[in-house]
């Protein structure tokens, strides 16, 4: 789970308000997305790091949740299925060599 809690701590530490960020070119839409825990672009994250003179972990924090781990397990593709796919690709290539 991505959290923006460090972002607010960094703003407070540096004495920068969201109002000032808006005047520095950060849109109200971005600030609303952060406030609501929605995604923002890497471009925006990079821009925030530049404007605040900080590192990425001063803006976001990642914590693994049990729910995410369970989702990952459901989406996991067993290795034997990947190997079978690779073999099929190799055999398809051999067939195309003769055409």
Q: What is the CATH number of the domain that holds 15?
A: 1.10.260
Per-residue pLDDT at 72? 81
25-51 residue pLDDT tens: 999 999 999 999 999 999 999 999 999
pTM for the full predicted model? 0.69
Give per-residue pLDDT as tens, 86-98.
566 555 555 455 4
Residues 21 and 58 in one domain: yes
Q: Do 33 and 16 share a structural domain?
A: yes
Look at the chain and report how many structural domains it folds into: 2
Residues 76 and 51 grouped into a single domain: no
Given this model, what pLDDT does residue 6 score?
Answer: 97
State the helix-helix crossing angle for 42-52 and 5-14, rounded to 10 degrees: 20
pLDDT, averaged across the chain: 85
Residues 93 and 48 in one domain: no
The answer to whether 20 and 13 are in contact (CB under 8 A) is: no
């Amino acid at each position: 789970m991505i959290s923006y809690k460090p972002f607010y701590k960094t703003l407070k530490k540096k004495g920068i308000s969201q109002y000032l960020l808006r005047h520095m070119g950060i849109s109200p839409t971005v600030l609303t997305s952060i406030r609501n825990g929605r995604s923002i672009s890497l471009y925006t994250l990079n821009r925030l790091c530049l404007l605040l003179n900080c590192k990425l972990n001063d803006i976001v924090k990642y914590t693994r949740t049990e729910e995410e781990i369970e989702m990952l397990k459901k989406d996991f593709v067993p290795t034997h299925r990947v190997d079978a796919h690779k073999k099929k690709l190799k055999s398809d290539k051999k067939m195309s060599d003769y055409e």
